[in-house]
Structure 1
Amino acid sequence: MSPPATVAEEQVVVMDSQGPEGDSLPPTIIKFRGKEFNVDKWLDQVSLCRYLPEDEMRTLCAILTAKISMYPNIAAVSSPATIVGDIHGQFYDLMVLFEKGGSPTDSTYVFMGDYVDRGYYSLESLTYLFLMMLKFPGKVVLLRGNHETRRVSHQYGFYEDCHKKYCHNAVWKACCEVFDALPIAALIDEKIFCVHGGLSPNLPTLDSVMCLQRNIEVPPNGPLCDLVWSDPEESVSQWCMNPRGAGWVFGRDVAEQFVRKNNLTLICRSHQLVQEGFKYIFGNFLCNVWSAPNYCYRCGNVASILKIAPDGTRDVVIFSAVENDDRRIPERNAAPYFL
C-alpha cells in the first residue's frame, strides 16, 4: 500500500473568483489535482437534501483529507463563535440551526462531533458540513466525535446509508479517512475548551492534548478514546468507570482542576442528550450543548447552540425540530444512485 499523500503533494488551492460587483461571497473554486471544482454548485445540490455522485463525493473527501491532515489537534478559534453539539443525520434540523445561528462570515461555527448515524440523512448532513468547511475556511470547524469512527458508524447507520446510496462501501471508507484527520478539540479565545466527550486522566494539560497522535481510528481505550467518549457526572468527584464501556466518568474536582491548570473559563461538550437542549454541570464552568432536536424523531427534546461574544458573553439559542410536514422522510429502502 502506498503512503498517504501529504497536503503539499495534493496541492489544494482555494480560489475566490470574481463575482458580480457588490457580491460579498463570490463563487468558491477549489483547484485539486489539476482540476477545478465549484463548491457553490455542490452546495446548491446538497442543500436540497441530495447527495453527490460518487466520483464527486470521493473527490470532496480527498480534498478535505489533504487540507486538514496537517491541522493541529486543537483548533484555535476567535470569537464571535457559535458552538454546536450533536447533529446525528437530522438534515432539516441542521438547516434550521444555520438559520438560527447566522452566517459563518459573522460567527465561527465549532461543531463538536457526531454528524452521522441514527438520523435519516447522515450522508447529506455530513456532505453539507464538509462543503461548508470549504466554502468558509477557518469559519466552520468540525471536531471528531465518537460516531466519526469506523467501528461506531458501521454499527449505527452511516455505513448502511452510504451502502444503500452508492451500492458499495468506498464512499464510507473515504469519509472515514476524513474523520481520522479531524481536529479533536477547539479553543475559543484561549479560554473555552470544546471537545466532544470529555477529559482524560492521561491528558491533564492542553499541551498534552496537542501532542496526541490523532490521525488514526479511535482505539477502544486510551487518551484519544477518552476525549470522544468520557462523561461528566455530578455525583462523583474523581474518575470512575464509564458504563458506556469506553472513556471515563469524571467529577467536579477533575473538571475544576483542568480548568484551573489550563487557565480556562469553560469546558464545552456534547455527547449526552439533554431534554432542555443546554445544561450547565458543576456550576458554570462545564456545559453540555445538544443540537439534535427531537432526537431520533421520538425523544421530544429541544436543541441549542451556544453563541460566544468577544466580551465573553454567552447566549444560548434554543430551537425545535422541523415539523414532519416540512421534512422529507425517506422510504425504507433508498434508491441506489447510479450517476
Structure 2
Amino acid sequence: MIRPLKIVFMGTPDFAVPPLQALHDSPHEVLAVVTQPDRPKGRGRKLTPPPVKQTALACGYPVLQPETVRTEAFHRQLAELAPDLFVVVAFGQILPQRLLDIPPQGAINVHASLLPRYRGAAPIQWAIINGDRETGVTTMMMDKGMDTGDILLVEKTAIGPDDTAADLHDRLSDMGARTLVRTLEKLQDGSLERTAQDHARATHAPMLKKKDGEIDWSMPAERIECLIRGMTPWPGAFTFSDGMRLKIFKACVLERDISVPPGTILECFPGELRVATGHSALAVQEIQGASGKRLPIDDFLCGCRLPDGACLG
C-alpha cells in the first residue's frame, strides 16, 4: 500500500482555496499551512485573514504566517515538520533554494497558465487582455526561478468571448485542484514525468496596477474589449469624461468605419453609448460612475448624460 504524502501547503488568496480543500479531501496529510500575514482591508482597515488561513483553520490545520520566508527561524520550523513535499499555490513570496531543498520530494506549484506562457503574478488577466483563445493550469516542480521549473501536468480550457478574469479565475482554480490531485497520484505511483520548459518561448504576466486599467481609445475596439474583460473585477477598466471617472465592466465591438478621433462619443439612439476607437467602435453595456453603482448603460444615462461628440479619456 502506498503511504500518504506528508505535505506543507503554501497559498494565500481565493485561488488557492480549492487546491487546499482538495488536499483536505485526499488521503494525504497536511502538516501545516503557510500563508501571508493578516492585512488591513476595506474602508475600516480591519485586520483580515487571507482566504487560505480561514479555510485552513476550518480544516483544523496549524497556520504559519511569516512576514518573510527567508529567516533562519522559519527554515528551522519547516525542517522540523519533516514534510515529504511542499505544495505551493499563489503564495506570494519567492521560496529560496534552501527552503525548496527541505522536502525530499521537492515542491510542486500550481500555476494558472500554459507554461512557459505567462510566468508571473497575473497570468489569468494577461491571457484575456492579450486576446488568447486558450489557457489552462500547469503543475510544475519548483526551482529558484520565477515559474521556470519542469512541467508535470497540463490541463487546458478555452477562453470564451464573454469570459472575464473573475470567470476564468474560478474555473482555473477548480481545474488546478483536480490537476494537483492527479499530479500527486502520479508522483506516488511513479508515473509522473517531467518536461523542461522551453525558456525561449516564455512570456511574462507582471502584477497589475490600478493605472493599467485606463483605456487607450486609440487601440482597436477588439483590444479594448479584451482589456475590459481582463481587468474585471480588479483593477477595473476606466476612462474619464470631463474629469469624472467612469469604470466600464462590459462592452461589445461594433464593426464600422470611423472618421472622428478615438474616444469620441458617437451619435446613437437614446440609452446607448458608442465610442470611437482606433479601429471600429465600442458599445458600452455596463458602467459605473460617481454614484458607485454598477449599472446597465441605459439606466446610467438616465441620470448622467454624455453628449454626442464629447471625447472620453
> TM-score category by the smaller chain?
under 0.3
Q: Which has the larger radius of gyration?
A: 2
Higher relative contact order (CA 8 A, sep 6+): 1
- With normalisation by structure 2, the TM-score equals 0.26
- With normalisation by structure 1, the TM-score equals 0.25
